[in-house]
Amino acid sequence: MAGGIVSQVSKSGSSDVSPAKPSLWYNPEIRGYVAQAVVAIVLAYLFYEAFHNARDNMLAHHMPTNFNFWNNIAGFDISQTLIYFNASTSTFGRAFFVGLLNTLLVAGLGIVFATILGFIVGIARLSSNWVVAKLALVYVELFRNVPLLLQLLFWYNAVLRPLPSPRQSLALPGGAFLNNRGLILPNPIFSANAIWLWLALALGIAVAYFYRRFARRRQAVTGEPGQVLLVSIAALVGFPVLGYFILGEPMHLTFPVLRGFNFVGGLQVYPEFISLLLGLTIYTATFIAEIVRGGITAVSKGQREAASALGFSHSQSLRLIVVPQAMRVIIPPLTNQFLNLTKNSTLAVAIAYPELAQVFMGTVLNQTGAAVQIVFVTMGVYLAISLITAMIMNVYNKRVALAER
C-alpha cells in the first residue's frame, strides 16, 4: 500500500508541474523586430532633423524651398534641342526636358556604337592574324588608359575646333559638309502622311522578328536553317521603300547651301555632340572589347573543335556556337558598361554640350538658386535611367541563360 501511495504521489506530482515558458525578450525573432524598429526610428529622426536643418538654412539664405521656379521663363538659349525651345517663352521645366532628351540621345547612340565597336575589337583581339590582333591590342591599351575627360577635350579642341571655317568646308559624299561649326547634313522633311512610312518600317521590323522566331523553331525540328538575314533585310528595306512610292514620296531632303558666312538649310550636328559621342564610344568600347574577349575565351575549346568537325567555318562557329554561349558571361559586365557610359555623359560639361547636368544643374541652378531641388531631381533621373537599363539587360540575360535560375 505504501508503494502504491508513493507511486500515486509521484504520478500526480509529475502531471501538475509544467516547464517554465521563456521570456519574450529571449525570442530571437522578437529581438530582431525590436532592433529593426529602433534603427528605423533613429533613421527617421535623423532624416527629420536633416530636412528641417536644410530648410532653415535655405530660408536663412533666401533660397527657394519649393518647385515654383519650374514654370518660370528660362530666359536663355540652348544650342541643340530635339523639341521646341525659345528663350523668351519656354520655361525652366521645358529646359529640363531638353537636357534630358539630349542625354538620352547621346547615351542611346553611344551604347549602340560602343557595343558594335567593342564586339569587333574584342573578336579582333583573338584573331589569328598577327597584325589585326596587335592593332586591336594597341587600340585597347591606348584609349583605355587615357582619362575620358582628356579624350573629350582632345576630340573637341585638337580635332574639331581646328577644322576650316564654313567657307572652306570639307565636302563629303551625299551633300554633307564638315567644318568647325559641326557636320552639316541633308535634312529630311516629312509630309503629313509620312506616319504611314513609319508604320511600314514597324511592319518590316515585326516581319523580321517573327520570321526569325519561325526559322529557329523550324531549324530545331527539321535541322534546316532559314535565310534570316536576307529576309530581315528585305523586310526592313522593302516595306519602307514600297510605302515611299505608294504614298507619293512623303519625304524629301533639303540640302545645305552656303550663303554668306554660314550654311542655310540642312541638319547641323554640333561639334560638342560629335566630340562627346566619339569620346564615349571609343572609351567604352575598349572595356566592352575586353569583356567580349574574356567571354569568348571562357567557352571551351571543345566547342570550336566540335563545330570544325561538323563542317562549320570559323565565322559560322563563332556566330552560331561560340558567341551565343559567351553571352552568358558577357552580359552582366556589359550592363555595367552601359550604365557607366550614361553616367559619364555628365562630363559633357567640360565641352559645353547641353545635356541634363549642364543645362539643369548648371544654367538653371545658377539662375534659380534651387540647388537642393535640382540636385535631387537630377540624381533621381540618372537613378531611374540606370534602373531601367539594368532591368532591360536583366530580362535579356535571362533569355540567353542556358539554365533557369
Query: pLDDT, tens digit, for every residue of 172-217?
Result: 888 889 999 889 999 888 888 888 888 988 999 999 989 888 888 8
Q: Are 114 and 288 in contact (CB under 8 A)?
A: yes
> Is there a domain that residue 303 lies in?
yes
Residue 16 has pLDDT above 60, yes or no: no
Same domain? For 201 and 108 the reply is: no
Helix (H, G, I), strand (E, B) or coil at 267: strand
Last residue of a domain, one of 197, 225, 248: 248
> Is there a domain that residue 104 lies in?
yes
E strands present in 157-230: 170-172, 176-179, 182-185, 187-190
Residue 1 has pLDDT above 50, yes or no: no
Same domain? For 287 and 393 the reply is: yes
Same domain? For 238 and 141 the reply is: no
From 198-207, 274-283, 304-313, 354-363, the region with the lowest mean pLDDT: 304-313
Structural domains counted in the chain: 2
User: What Å distances lie between residue 248 and 245, 253, 254, 405, CA to CA?
Assistant: 5, 14, 17, 52
Residue type, 370: A
Mean pLDDT score of the chain? 86
Averaged pLDDT, 293-318: 84
Residue 27 has pLDDT above 80, yes or no: no
> Is there a domain that residue 225 lies in?
yes
Residue 4 has pLDDT above 60, yes or no: no
From 262-266, 373-377, 383-387, the region with the lowest mean pLDDT: 262-266
Residue type, 197: L
> Is there a domain that residue 336 lies in?
yes
Residue 5 has pLDDT above 70, yes or no: no
Same domain? For 290 and 227 the reply is: no
Averaged pLDDT, 342-366: 91
The sign one gets for the Cα dihedral 314, 319, 324, 326 is positive
E strands present in 167-245: 170-172, 176-179, 182-185, 187-190
Taking the C-alpha atoms of residue 5 and residue 176, their distance in angstroms, rounded to an integer, is 115
Same domain? For 285 and 385 the reply is: yes
pLDDT of residue 221: 80
Same domain? For 221 and 316 the reply is: no
**pLDDT class of 361 with cuts at 50, 70, 90:** confident
Taking the C-alpha atoms of residue 291 and residue 148, their distance in angstroms, rounded to an integer, is 19
Q: Are 246 and 80 in contact (CB under 8 A)?
A: no
User: pTM (2 decimals)?
Assistant: 0.82
pLDDT of residue 265: 82
Q: What is the DSSP letter of 156?
A: I
pLDDT of residue 405: 42
Last residue of a domain, one of 248, 265, 298: 248
Q: Are 122 and 289 in contact (CB under 8 A)?
A: yes
> Is there a domain that residue 174 lies in?
no
Neighbours of 26 (CB within 10 A): 8
pLDDT of residue 20: 54
For cell 526592313, name the residue: 236
Same domain? For 393 and 300 the reply is: yes
**pLDDT class of 21 with cuts at 50, 70, 90:** low
pLDDT of residue 403: 47
Same domain? For 315 and 367 the reply is: yes
> Is there a domain that residue 107 lies in?
yes
Q: Write out the residue range of the structural domain in which residue 381 sits.
A: 93-148+281-400
Averaged pLDDT, 367-380: 89
Name the grid cell of 2: 505504501
Longest CA–CA span in the chain (Å) reads 131
Last residue of a domain, one of 206, 228, 248: 248
Which range of 30-39, 107-116, 290-299, 318-327 scores highest in mean pLDDT? It is 107-116
Nearest 5°: phi and psi at 116?
A: -65, -50
Name the grid cell of 375: 540636385
> Is there a domain that residue 81 lies in?
no
Same domain? For 143 and 214 the reply is: no
Same domain? For 375 and 330 the reply is: yes
Q: What percent of the chain is modeled with pLDDT above 90?
A: 43
**pLDDT class of 248 with cuts at 50, 70, 90:** confident
From 102-111, 205-214, 216-225, the region with the lowest mean pLDDT: 216-225
pLDDT digits over 132-188, tens only?
Answer: 999 999 999 999 999 999 999 999 999 999 999 888 888 888 888 999 988 999 988
Identify the CATH number of the domain in which residue 121 sits: 1.10.3720.10
Same domain? For 126 and 211 the reply is: no
Residue 18 has pLDDT above 80, yes or no: no
pLDDT of residue 107: 95
Which H helix or E strand runs over 259?
strand 257-259
Taking the C-alpha atoms of residue 379 and residue 358, their distance in angstroms, rounded to an integer, is 13
Helix H segments across 61-164? 92-124, 130-144, 148-153
Same domain? For 286 and 244 the reply is: no
> Is there a domain that residue 229 lies in?
yes
